[in-house]
Chains A and B, each alone.
Chain A
Amino acid sequence: MNIAVCIKQVPDVPSIRIDKQRMTIIREGVESIINPLDCVALEAAVDLRDKEGGFVTVLSMGPPQSEEALREALAAGADQAILLTDPNFAGADTLATSHVLARAISKLEPFPDLVLCGSQTIDSDTGHVAPQIAQELDLPQVCGVNEVHVEKDFFVVKRVSDRFLDTIRISMPAVLAVSSELCVPRHIPFGHLEKAFSDCNIIRWGMNDLELNPEEVGLKGSATWVARLHTPPPKRKGEILSGSPQILAGHLVKKLEAMGIIDEEEKKP
């Protein structure tokens, strides 16, 4: 079974910086990681390949630096890595991102039986890209997958959706977006990382390789624009009280009483 896995290199969220002029993320100087749920997707792909045969292609759209994420994916067991990078791809929303990824997947030979993605990223958290790839490639999709069984030419998957546990039969080829419950990503031995960073080849496809034009990618190909970035106003009162544990526990009791969670102590006569 041939599997394509889409991954994204994301900034380690607590250390992000924003370019306020261009309103985009400054990636340089911020530690970058593979989006955690994409690691789950990659692990699932490698695991399925080991059981079913075939090969795993990992794809990522991003700046040249995203190559690191792809090398890490090779070290985690992927067979082939493709970096989709082009100055024109910058500033893409999910519509434009899914367009590039879908186009790249459609160029894979043979066409994969399964496209795996993480359900969301930690930086933008939209969860849009997997369903949008599925729509563009006209494939069926299931998001939030926490169990996958491979049958002859279909998958049986499970997921929790709005308080329901669904069991779904989905024909191949399919797009599955995975939840963190599917599997636990392996620890990558240092030797594998070293090898991936010294010996392995990364394929690079730009706009022309994908037969795309500047109007349909990046900022120009995006339907949404970020008009403004701002920090949320503090929502809470943020009153800080200090004192002995007994005093503070007393404050807690009063608050619990005021909220009606515990009964007020009966007044002593």
Chain B
Amino acid sequence: MKKKRNRNSAQGVWIFGDYRNYFQDRVTLQLISKGRDLAQTLETEVAVLVLGEGIHQYAMEYVAHGADVIIAVNDSRLKEYQVETYTTVVAEIVESYQPEILLGGATSFGRELFPRLAKRLNTGLSADCVALEIDPDSGLLIQTTPAFGGEMLADVVTPNHRPQMATVHPGIFKERPHDSSILGRILYPEIDIRPDERIQLVRSRPHRTGKTNLEGADIVVAGGRGMGPKEEFDMLYELAELLGGEVGATRPAIRAGWADEERLLGQTGKTVKPKLLLSLGTSGALQYTAGIQGAETIIAVNRDPNAPIFKMADLALEGDARSIIAALLEELRKRL
């Protein structure tokens, strides 16, 4: 590819424009906003890299949300998100422009593309970051990433390799409001695209989960060991229906046969980001809490005031989850 070295973007903060679920998943917009703060500290610009076909609508959105520069590769051969081909294209552009920082959302695709890309660029990568700051002394990007199921946080730096790369957990940073009066520049690097033929997308269709829509639910009612036996646990289905939510369960509840495997929350199950999560009769084992950390509000009910779940709850009720839910249902039924 031809080198178009732009003085301003040469040391920029770059964001990978991940637009596949634009309306549901705003992580790219959140990163543009955070990227602006980082770029200001480093006295540089924010650029968004957009690959695909018919990408101008996204390019315009990214500018309206704060991107200074768009680096666009509009090509039908990039129509499908494909890790191998995207790695080659992004790597060549990065090698040519040499950004200081390259960030992407920790979406399924981001978490598959970024490791391969980091390896190709022979640089460091931290996963699923929950905070990003510039160290005032070294100027390095401090990438804060959860370790050991969120028990610890690690501040990671990439001292000697560039770009400094990180994937970032969705929902951590706030996007800036859309402002269509903002102007941005758009660059079209010339690049030779060679699709990787070893991998072919046969079919891709929107995934509809069978019975549950846990991941998309605004309200999740989650039951654990303290919600048993099954007859008691079944109250949660009525509660979920009355509140317009979905039922989730911890591993012990599923082992006991109170709920189906597809309702499993946590490290080996589903990750949910509801507005409200009711955590009922769950002690708060890390395997479980890893899947509910993204909830906006957590209300926990447990008999044990020392249960770890209370440490992450906005409202903690000490008592028997079964009787409290029974009383709540009685009240809600009255209001029907």
Contact = CB atoms under 8 A, between A and B. Distances in A.
B202 A156 contact: yes
B210 to A, nearest CB: 12
A143 B286 contact: no
A245 B301 CA distance: 11
B305 interface: yes
Interface string A151-185: 00000100011111111111100100000100000
B134 interface: no
Nearest to B123: A223
A88 interface: no
A248 B268 CA distance: 32
B96 interface: no
Contact of A36 (B109, B148, B268, B335): B268
B211 interface: no
Which of B87, B206, B287, B319 neighbours the largest number of chain A CB atoms within 10 Å of its CB? B319
Contacts of A126: 115, 125-128
Nearest to B156: A224
Contact of A167 (B154, B204, B268): B204
Contacts of B318: 240-242
B151 A252 contact: no
B311 A238 contact: yes
Given A13-B287, A128-B127, A132-B116, A167 B147 contact: no
Consensus secondary structure, chain B interface: mixed
A170 B297 CA distance: 42
Contacts of B314: 236-239
Contact of B319 (A130, A163, A248): A248
Contact of A223 (B112, B122, B312, B328): B122
Contacts of A14: 151, 285-286
A223 B115 CA distance: 13
Contact of B109 (A162, A234, A235, A255): A162
Nearest to B302: A240
Nearest to A249: B327
B320 interface: yes
Interface stretch (B30-38, B58-66, B192-200): B192-200
A169 B199 contact: yes
Contacts of A67: none
Given A225-B157, A236-B311, A241-B315, A131 B202 contact: no
Given A168-B201, A225-B158, 4 more contacts: A161-B108, A225-B157, A226-B156, A227-B156
The 10 closest A-B pairs by CB, nearest first: A223-B124, A249-B327, A224-B124, A245-B323, A128-B115, A126-B127, A131-B115, A161-B108, A135-B119, A242-B318
10 contacts: A131-B119, A134-B116, A143-B112, A160-B207, A162-B25, A166-B204, A237-B315, A242-B319, A248-B301, A256-B276
